[in-house]
Structure 1
């Protein structure tokens, strides 16, 4: 609605995360909420094609807890395209790493 659009355009992105995404309890940063939609265990994800996986942003905690890197290797995932902008969604889930992302990109190198 036009009221929703006006509200969205007048509130900072970080404030919107706190108000609408759940902040620390962000539904996309909580593996428990998406158990039936996890092509990779521990992360909201689905295979778009046999070779392309779409997923929510990972977090350092998820990567470690669910051994995401090992799962990627088993699934033959060799490339990651990060669409997260540094500083984006700073209040969602566990917050941001010093890199400005929800994870340390070096973990995947």
Structure 2
């Protein structure tokens, strides 16, 4: 069984919800041991919408995920573990809050097939 070394939660937004997403990301990173990434106003990596990445350790999962569930204000959040197998982490081991979107997993298929 792979070891989970951390988690990434990707908060998706668009031009209309960017301020809401930024506040959510800033709030969670202030309240919990969460590292907030940049607010990407473009699609990055496999993500089909603009997003901000939140990184956190396995021992913060039970605090961060419930808080996001209750405070996401209609935003879609995609969360996956970090095990070193990016394809499986994004395809098979992920959690969705809100709309389930299609990721572009082709960037991982050559490295983790």
Higher strand share: 2
| TM-score > 0.5 by shorter chain | no
Give the TM-score normalised by structure 2: 0.30
Q: Which fold has the larger relative contact order, with Cα–Cα distance below 8 Å and residues 6 or more apart in sequence?
A: 2
Higher helix share: 1
